[in-house]
């Protein structure tokens, strides 16, 4: 029987919604390619796409996503409370006017 190597290709997806699921924030997809060939002919994309070498969340990517959401909330004159885990990429983000961030307790993400 042949041995198969497990693929190292990865993507990261950030999803956020309110408790009922009726209100959803724009998703964020993080891949490895700056311009993936599979998106070449797509004119409008329903989510934000970012890239880095390992397809991981970074401080910069998370900060950009938060700033965009904060601007959208300002346009709608809305405010949100965002619960996030304590990932290193979530540790240093910009000052926000319309978003309040609360961190989940340590080591509870996988249980929630």
Cβ within 8 Å of residue 27, ≥6 positions away: 13, 14, 15, 16, 46, 47, 48
- Annotate 18-51 with b (16+ C-beta within 10 A) or e (fewer): eeeeeeebeebbbbeeeeeeeeeeeeeeeebbbe
pLDDT block averages, 10 residues each, the chain of length 112: 76 88 89 85 84 90 90 91 83 86 81 68
Residue 82, strand partner residues: 101
Domain locations along the chain: 12-103
Contacts of 96 (CB under 8 A, 6+ apart): 66, 67, 70
């Amino acid at each position: 029987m042949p041995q198969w190597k497990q693929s190292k290709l990865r993507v990261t997806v950030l999803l956020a919604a309110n408790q009922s699921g009726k209100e959803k924030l724009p998703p964020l997809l993080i891949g490895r390619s700056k311009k993936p060939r599979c998106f070449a002919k797509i004119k409008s994309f329903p989510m934000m796409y970012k890239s880095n070498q390992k397809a991981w969340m970074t401080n910069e990517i998370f900060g950009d996503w938060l700033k965009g959401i904060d601007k959208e909330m300002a346009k709608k004159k809305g405010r949100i409370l965002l619960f996030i885990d304590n990932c290193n990429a979530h540790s240093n983000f910009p000052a926000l006017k319309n978003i309040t961030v609360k961190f989940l307790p340590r080591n509870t993400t996988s249980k929630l």
